[in-house]
DNA sequence: AGCACGCCGACT
DNA sequence: GTCGGCGTGCTC
């Protein structure tokens, strides 16, 4: 068997939650174009055509079925097998299928799926008289718009229409065709050249009295860009710089002064940015420690308080990678990917930075994918959110994970339910790349690893220019109420602080970890709370849009004028969200400029960006918001930070709640005190004595860690054990409970693991599915992989039981 | 996950 | 009788 002959069969992965790969035959003529990582078109099922990825090549003809043939080769999407190994690892580690991993890994532009198109084959005059009106309607639609799909019909007329259409196909009046929309992946860029020998014409354009001002601006912009050292001047850049329109540019092209050539984007040379700034003494020391840690092949954890200059260190490290020609990935929490950060990195790395996150368009994402795959200089440095770990790297040298502790690195639904930080660490080991974790408040896991000697710890505790840490004041809501010093949700102390800041033209940030106006609408007469009819949770009032919304399933409805049970019109709102806080602030400080930053207002990119620039330039006095105000924003005029109520952070029923509370409070506190004045933080609470708050007050991470790790050691939580959360779902509550109880007892057969539960999660019904969870605790000295396999086999066994077949389940590994 | 097939209740 | 509901099982 010679490898020159090529393989006869390919195992492919489909973007579906299927446990195994599927084998297709390779037509001889396609054989030379197919390798591992090639994207191919295959038929799967009776009609549908999908793009799939080749994961294995072989010559073993299957004996129990006749494989279908690969229809077409779409080209490579992954060049380095290590990326596929990464997918495989993730599926196994996070207990899901490789298809599910593929589904999140690939930008959707790379996932083709055919649609069934219908065409009317017979002229109206020959239509059978016996056809019903609905049939005629289907025929009319398909005749008028020949691209009508089966899905279009279903969307418009319901599933019945699909059955009708199939009948029409059977009797031969309707034709059926699978159609796929192909996408070109190569990006062509229009590059502009100037014909310098056209001296006279150029002089004429540049003449101060020229009538063609727009054209003059373009020529000037061209010279400006050239002077800045750009090797390629694209049409895009020219139009942006000159503010002229395409019309003016076309005129110059017609005069033969400018010339436009199209080149592939991958052929562009990218200009690098400026040199990195010199490090301070403390930073230099930290830098050397990081290098030393890397030299020992260890992961480095950089524990540096806000404003200690972590980003400068990142830049220095990335500069080194840039010089060596390797690829570097910088992970950032999604909401911290602000223009502020991007501009800063562009300054240092010019056009060698690529962005990758979910708010980008599909086209932009697949462009970055291709660019990384080809190892273009334009994507030597990728700054991205969680999903950037799936990019097809081939020469990855360094991964930086900023805000390492951030909970948004975890994807909690759907599968794969993975921890992006931990996955990135595994990715790095596949490539032999170094990893730097950066944070002001390390996660308990990471800090634990430094104490175990697994990670190197680098501390950077000197703030810039001797900036001082903010003063934290705890305000006892109960006491304030007694003294009649609460106005709505605000204590007199906080009001006075805001007032003082306003008078001195300083900014204030108010943090409330809940969006909407109020989380509960309750009837004062019968006590009925407006609940979501699909979930076991109260509906949140969104006053601005006058609607009730479910934050779990997304359903919304208008606010009822009266109680739906007793008809009473005495409806009261309980609890406060950001909208209400904003309202209260406007009446407390009528003249102040107040803005709100939360998921609802950040929907519009424009409004979001405006808010950030207004905040920077001092156009906003008070910014109210959820966690979004705690991330990535470097506002320099903020002096006061207020936390409306810390208690809902502290008493969340989850073992990580205290860690999260500490991190959030420290971060929001860190927003203040960059203006030269010492920042002031006011935390309102009923529990001034809570340990977390005392640690925040003294900014004492180590004390917090000691306390928290003691708790987790005592009550057996990670990092002292491994923990997996197994969740069961079903529409029938009784069946779900029975299944959960039985499975729990079966899982106890797996040796040495601790099985806890089953218990209901805080919200026990979402989208009409009841949920029950089982916690599995696994000792650290036991093989994680082997135990997971045992758990899998118990579950597979259990869920093939006829009674429990319909119960759905999923795992949250390292929950 | 889709999608088809097939088995049962309610409406011409 | 037929239509349409959803439960069940397969997809190379
Ligand atoms: Zn009522
Ligand atoms: Zn809901």
In angstroms, the CA of A44 and the C1' of C12 are apart by 8
Give chain B positions with protein CB within 7 A.
1-4
In angstroms, the CA of A613 and the C1' of B6 are apart by 62
CA atoms within 13 A on the CB side of A372: 31
Q: Please indicate if the annotation marks A532 as binding a ligand.
A: yes
Q: Residue A529 C-alpha to ligand 1 middle, in angstroms?
A: 8
Does nucleic acid strand C have an atom less than 7 angstroms from the CB of A159?
yes
Burial pattern A224-247, b for ≥16 Cβ within 10 A else e, equals: ebeeeebebbbbebbbebbebeee
Spatial separation of the C-alpha atoms in residues A619 and A633, rounded to whole Å: 15
Q: Residue A519 C-alpha to ligand 2 middle, in angstroms?
A: 13
Which residues are within 8 A (CB) of A668 and not within 5 positions of it... i.e. 6 or more apart?
A509, A511, A629, A630, A641, A643, A681
Q: Show the CA angle centred on residue A92, arms to residues A91 and A94, nearest 5°.
A: 70
List A343's β-bridge partners, or say none.
none
CA atoms within 13 A on the CB side of A730: 19
Q: How many residues does chain A have?
A: 815
Give chain C positions with protein CB within 7 A.
3-5, 7-12
For strand C, list residues 369-408 of chain A whose Cβ lies within 7 Å of it: none
Spatial separation of the C-alpha atoms in residues A286 and A278, rounded to whole Å: 13
Tokens 């090549």 belong to which residue? A57
Q: Residue A524 C-alpha to ligand 1 middle, in angstroms?
A: 7
Q: Residue A647 C-alpha to ligand 1 middle, in angstroms?
A: 29
Does nucleic acid strand B have an atom less than 7 angstroms from the CB of A363?
no
List A22's β-bridge partners, or say none.
A12
Q: Which nucleotide is nearest to A64 (CA to C1')?
A: C12
Q: Residue A554 C-alpha to ligand 2 middle, in angstroms?
A: 6
Q: Does pLDDT of A1 surpass 60? A: no
pLDDT tens digits along A225-276: 888 777 788 888 888 888 788 899 899 988 889 988 887 776 676 677 788 8
3-state secondary structure of A759: strand
Q: Please indicate if the annotation marks A526 as binding a ligand.
A: yes
Tokens 């055919």 belong to which residue? A114
Q: Which nucleotide is nearest to A414 (CA to C1')?
A: B1
Q: Does pLDDT of A402 surpass 60? A: yes
Instruction: Say which ligand is closest to the CA of A563.
Output: 1
Q: Which helix (H) or strand (E) holds A438?
A: strand A434-439
Does nucleic acid strand B have an atom less than 7 angstroms from the CB of A235?
no
Is cis: bond before A758, omega within 30 of 0? yes
Contact by Cβ (8 Å): A636, A670: no
Tokens 């002959």 belong to which residue? A5
Does nucleic acid strand B have an atom less than 7 angstroms from the CB of A413?
no
pLDDT tens digits along A425-443: 999 999 999 999 999 999 9
Q: What ipTM goes with this model?
A: 0.88
Does nucleic acid strand C have an atom less than 7 angstroms from the CB of A62?
yes
Residue A2: the pLDDT is: 43
Residue A534: the pLDDT is: 85
Spatial separation of the C-alpha atoms in residues A228 and A241, rounded to whole Å: 12
The per-residue pLDDT of chain A, averaged, comes to 91
Q: Please indicate if the annotation marks A120 as binding a ligand.
A: no
3-state secondary structure of A549: strand
- Under the banding of pLDDT at 50, 70 and 90, the label for residue A630 is confident
Edge-to-edge, what's the strand order for the sheet holding A680-685?
A471-476, A680-685, A638-643, A507-511, A622-625, A594-597
Q: Which nucleotide is nearest to A20 (CA to C1')?
A: C12
For strand B, list residues 66-85 of chain A whose Cβ lies within 7 Å of it: none
Tokens 């008493």 belong to which residue? A651
Spatial separation of the C-alpha atoms in residues A670 and A638, rounded to whole Å: 10
* More confident of the two residues A360 and A486: A486
Q: Does pLDDT of A53 surpass 60? A: yes
In angstroms, the CA of A182 and the C1' of B4 are apart by 27
Spatial separation of the C-alpha atoms in residues A138 and A400, rounded to whole Å: 56
For A248, the token pair is 């003016």
Distances (CA, A) of A470 to A352, A488, A680, A694: 37, 26, 5, 14
CB atoms under 10 Å from CB of A447, counted, come to: 25
- Under the banding of pLDDT at 50, 70 and 90, the label for residue A521 is very high
- Under the banding of pLDDT at 50, 70 and 90, the label for residue A800 is confident
Which residues are within 8 A (CB) of A564 and not within 5 positions of it... i.e. 6 or more apart?
A528, A530
Does nucleic acid strand B have an atom less than 7 angstroms from the CB of A18?
yes
Q: Please indicate if the annotation marks A550 as binding a ligand.
A: yes
Spatial separation of the C-alpha atoms in residues A405 and A448, rounded to whole Å: 13
Q: Which nucleotide is nearest to A24 (CA to C1')?
A: C12
Q: What is the pTM of this model?
A: 0.89
- Compute the radius of gyration of chain A from its Cα atoms: 30
Instruction: Say which ligand is closest to the CA of A523.
Output: 1
Cα A443 versus chain centre, distance: 19
Residue nearest to nucleotide B4 (CA to C1'): A46
Q: Please indicate if the annotation marks A563 as binding a ligand.
A: yes
What percent of chain A has a predicted confidence (pLDDT) above 70?
A: 98
Q: Residue A561 C-alpha to ligand 1 middle, in angstroms?
A: 11
Q: What's the average model confidence in pLDDT over A401-416?
A: 94
Q: Residue A553 C-alpha to ligand 2 middle, in angstroms?
A: 4
pLDDT tens digits along A148-173: 888 888 888 878 888 888 888 888 88
Q: Which helix (H) or strand (E) holds A779?
A: strand A769-779
pLDDT tens digits along A69-110: 999 999 999 999 999 999 999 999 999 999 999 999 999 999
Q: What 3 state SS string does A527-593 have?
A: CCECECCCCCCECEEECCCCEEECCCCCCEEECCCCCCCCCCCCEEEECCCHHHHHHHHHHHCCCCC
Contact by Cβ (8 Å): A671, A638: yes
Start-to-end CA distance of chain A, whole Å, equals: 48
Q: Which helix (H) or strand (E) holds A491?
A: strand A490-491
pLDDT tens digits along A554-591: 888 899 999 989 999 999 999 999 999 999 999 999 99
Q: Residue A600 C-alpha to ligand 2 middle, in angstroms?
A: 17
Q: Please indicate if the annotation marks A96 as binding a ligand.
A: no
Q: Please indicate if the annotation marks A795 as binding a ligand.
A: no
* Segment among A195-199, A496-500, A664-668 with least mean pLDDT: A195-199
In angstroms, the CA of A164 and the C1' of C10 are apart by 24
Q: Please indicate if the annotation marks A328 as binding a ligand.
A: no
Does nucleic acid strand B have an atom less than 7 angstroms from the CB of A16?
yes
In angstroms, the CA of A18 and the C1' of C11 are apart by 9
Question: Which residues have C-beta under 5 Å from ligand 1, the single-atom ion?
Answer: A 523, 525-526, 528, 563, 565-566, 568
pLDDT tens digits along A638-647: 999 999 999 9
């Amino acid at each position: 068997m010679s490898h020159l002959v090529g393989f006869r069969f390919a195992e492919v992965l489909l973007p579906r939650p299927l446990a195994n790969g599927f084998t297709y035959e390779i037509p001889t003529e396609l054989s030379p174009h197919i390798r591992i990582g090639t994207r191919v078109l295959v038929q799967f099922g009776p009609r549908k055509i999908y793009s799939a990825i080749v994961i294995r090549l072989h010559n073993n003809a299957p004996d129990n079925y006749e494989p279908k043939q690969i229809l077409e080769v779409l080209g490579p999407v992954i060049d380095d097998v290590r990326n596929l190994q990464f997918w495989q690892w993730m599926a196994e580690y996070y207990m899901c299928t490789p298809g599910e991993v593929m589904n999140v890994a690939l930008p959707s532009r790379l996932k083709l799926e055919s649609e069934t198109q219908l065409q009317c084959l017979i002229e109206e005059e020959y239509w059978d008289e016996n056809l019903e009106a609905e049939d005629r309607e289907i025929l009319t639609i398909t005749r008028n718009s020949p691209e009508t799909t089966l899905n279009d019909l279903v969307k418009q007329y319901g599933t019945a229409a699909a059955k009708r259409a199939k009948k029409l196909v059977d009797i031969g009046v309707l034709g059926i065709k699978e159609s796929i929309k192909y996408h070109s992946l190569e990006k062509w860029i229009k590059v502009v050249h100037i014909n310098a020998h056209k001296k006279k014409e150029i002089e004429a354009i540049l003449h101060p009295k020229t009538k063609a001002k727009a054209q003059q601006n373009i020529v000037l912009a061209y010279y400006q860009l050239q002077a800045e050292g750009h090797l390629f001047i694209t049409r895009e850049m020219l139009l942006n710089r000159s503010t002229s329109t395409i019309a003016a540019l076309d005129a110059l092209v017609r005069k033969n002064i400018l010339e436009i050539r199209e080149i592939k984007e991958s052929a562009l040379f990218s200009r690098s940015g400026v040199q990195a700034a010199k490090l301070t003494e403390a930073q230099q020391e930290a830098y050397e420690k990081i290098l030393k840690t890397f030299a020992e092949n260890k992961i480095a954890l950089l524990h540096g308080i806000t404003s200690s200059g972590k980003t400068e260190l990142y830049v220095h490290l990335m500069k080194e990678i840039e010089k060596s020609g390797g690829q570097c990935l910088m992970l950032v929490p999604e909401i911290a990917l602000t223009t502020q950060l991007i501009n800063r990195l562009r300054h240092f790395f010019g056009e060698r930075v690529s962005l990758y996150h979910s708010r980008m368009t599909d086209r932009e994402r697949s462009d970055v994918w291709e660019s990384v795959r080809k190892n273009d200089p334009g994507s030597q440095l990728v700054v991205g959110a969680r999903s950037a770990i799936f990019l097809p790297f081939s020469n990855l040298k360094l991964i930086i994970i900023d805000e390492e502790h951030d909970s948004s690195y975890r994807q909690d639904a759907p599968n794969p339910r993975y921890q992006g930080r931990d996955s990135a660490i595994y990715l790095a080991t596949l490539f032999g790349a170094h990893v730097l974790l950066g944070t002001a408040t390390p996660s308990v896991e990471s800090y634990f690893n430094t104490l175990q000697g697994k990670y190197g710890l680098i501390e950077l505790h000197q703030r810039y220019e001797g900036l001082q840490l903010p003063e934290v004041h705890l305000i006892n809501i109960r006491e304030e109420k007694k003294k009649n010093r609460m106005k709505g949700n605000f204590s007199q102390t906080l009001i006075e602080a805001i007032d003082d800041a306003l008078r001195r033209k300083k900014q204030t940030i108010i943090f409330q970890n809940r969006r909407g106006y109020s989380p509960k609408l309750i009837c004062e007469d019968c006590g009925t709370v407006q609940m979501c009819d699909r979930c076991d949770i109260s509906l949140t009032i969104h006053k601005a849009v006058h609607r009730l919304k479910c934050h779990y399933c997304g359903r919304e409805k208008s606010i009822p004028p009266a109680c739906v049970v007793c008809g009473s019109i005495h409806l009261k709102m309980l609890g406060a969200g950001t909208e209400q806080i904003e309202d209260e602030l406007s009446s407390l400080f009528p003249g102040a400029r107040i803005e709100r930053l939360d998921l609802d207002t950040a929907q519009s990119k424009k409004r979001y960006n405006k808010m950030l620039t207004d905040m920077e330039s001092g156009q906003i006095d008070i910014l109210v918001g959820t966690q979004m105000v705690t991330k990535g924003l470097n506002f320099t005029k903020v002096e006061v930070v207020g936390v409306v109520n810390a208690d809902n952070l502290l008493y969340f029923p989850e073992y990580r709640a205290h860690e999260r509370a500490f991190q959030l409070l420290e971060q929001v506190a860190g927003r203040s005190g960059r203006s030269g004045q010492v920042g002031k933080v006011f935390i309102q609470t009923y529990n001034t004595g809570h340990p977390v708050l005392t640690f925040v007050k003294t900014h004492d991470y180590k004390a917090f860690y000691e306390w928290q790790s003691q708790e987790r050691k005592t009550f057996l939580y990670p990092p002292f054990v491994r923990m997996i959360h197994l969740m069961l779902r079903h529409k029938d509550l009784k069946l779900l409970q029975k299944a959960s109880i039985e499975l729990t007892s079966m899982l106890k057969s797996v040796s040495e693991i601790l099985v806890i539960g089953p218990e209901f999660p805080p919200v026990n019904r979402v989208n009409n599915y009841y949920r029950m969870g089982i916690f599995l605790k696994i000792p650290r000295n036991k093989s994680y992989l082997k135990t997971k396999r045992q758990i899998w086999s118990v579950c597979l066994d259990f869920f093939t039981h006829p009674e429990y077949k319909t119960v759905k389940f999923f795992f949250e590994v390292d929950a």
